[in-house]
Amino acid sequence: MMKVAFFDTKEYDRPSFEHYGELKGLEFKFLETKLTEDTAELAKGCDVVCVFVNDTVNAPVIDKLYEYGIKMVALRCAGYNNVDVQRAYRKVHVVHVPAYSPYAVAEHAAALLLTSIRRIHKAYNRTRDFNFSLNGLTGFDLHGKTVGIIGTGKIGRIFMDICRGFGMNVIAYDKFPAKDSDIEYVSLDELFDRSDIISLHCPLTDETRHMINTDSIDRMKKGVVIINTSRGALIDTEALLIGLRARKIGAACLDVYEEEADIFFEDRSGHILDDELLSRLISLPNVIVTSHQAFLTEEALNNIAETTVNNIVSYFENDGLCDNELCYRCGNIETCKKERKQRCF
Ligand code: NAI
């Protein structure tokens, strides 16, 4: 039976993975710790490691996994910015779950937006305290507002449809604009200039890191609402804080944070949070932070487990072929992924 070392296990991961693992004959070794250089050793004796967004799969970790005979890193998420794919090439196969429920993430972005602009988080706390005052709860209509969507892939497009349902004007920027679509693509600068609300749905790459920074915030409309359900480092958090304190940014809805790796997903109540930037963000009334929760629906958890298990099984049963392999064969993961018809290596 094939053994899978499952790093960074949470209570909500186990039922779906145990179910699909049993169906397909995989044995999971559930580990609470994250994968790092220090913990890689725990995967000894396994065939595969299964990791999530905040596990570290850098060059030293890949070298160790290779030394232990691990054949595959199975990401149970879509994003792979935590994996040195170039280093993995010819050592360890890397598979991911390209889509599990884009609806879950897009709907969470919409939930954050509505909560924020209609002050639902404030109202909820007030009425629990029998405070029925409306002072300070004035919101604004979404109808007629312009939303700028950065990244028109699976999640960005669903969020776009939701926004259209509210009667919003949608403009978008994508490095690879969709052909034959009715999307109004504009340059990034024009998107910053025109949007009342900006929602990030592109991957984190060297190019997109800190795309929301002092310069881009300077261009934005006063009162702009920024939503990030993608990856924390798309935003320069210091610049965001300055923009919020200067009242330039009207609100921020954040499901991700650039330094989230050692903070999110854990119960830290009762501890003093050492992260100054995050503490300051959370203290602002117009900032909502959820801890990388956008994916967390029953549908998504089931799809993640089913696809991950199928990825592993299909690779081992299919002579090294798996549609969801992240390939680095031609030196560029974006084009390689799209053009590959055969095995990665
Ligand atoms: P996707 O691959 O379907 O779409 C990404 C889009 O971004 C593509 O259209 C691509 O052309 C575009 N893009 C690539 N480089 C760009 C650039 N430099 N500038 C602008 N656009 C660029 O991905 P999907 O499924 O829509 O996911 C989007 C992101 O959402 C993921 O990268 C991931 O980071 C994040 N995510 C967050 C989750 C959460 O729980 N908060 C869960 C799942 C994904």
CB of 287 shorter than 6 A to ligand 1: no
Domain spanning 2-100+297-340: CATH superfamily: NAD(P)-binding Rossmann-like Domain (3.40.50.720)
Domain ranges of the chain: 2-100+297-340, 102-289
**For 148-200, how does the pLDDT look when each residue is reduced to its tens digit (9 = 90+)?**
999 999 999 999 999 999 999 999 999 999 998 899 999 999 999 999 999 99
Per-residue pLDDT of 229-276, as tens digits, reads: 999 999 999 999 999 999 999 999 999 999 998 899 889 999 999 999
Q: Is 229 near ligand 1, meaning CB less than 6 Å away? A: yes
| pLDDT at residue 25 in the model | 94
| 344 pLDDT above the threshold of 70 | no
Asked if residue 335 has its Cβ within 6 Å of ligand 1, the reply is no
Residue 112 contacts by C-beta under 8 Å, 6 or more apart in sequence? 227, 229, 253, 254, 255, 288, 290
- The answer to whether the 2-100+297-340 and 102-289 domains have the same CATH topology is yes
Q: Which fold has domain 102-289?
A: Rossmann fold (3.40.50)
Q: Give the integer Cα–Cα distance in Å for 138 and 158.
A: 28
Largest CA distance in the chain: 66
Ligand 1 atom closest to the CA of 98, numbered from 1: 25
Query: Could you say which of 87, 201, 258, 260 is catalytic?
Result: 260
Q: Which residue has the CA at smallest separation from atom 16 of ligand 1?
A: 175
Q: Is 276 annotated in the active site?
A: no
Atom of ligand 1 lying closest to residue 203 CA? 32
Which pLDDT does position 63 carry in this prediction?
98
The pLDDT value given to residue 97: 95
Catalytic residue (choose from 157, 258, 292, 325): 292
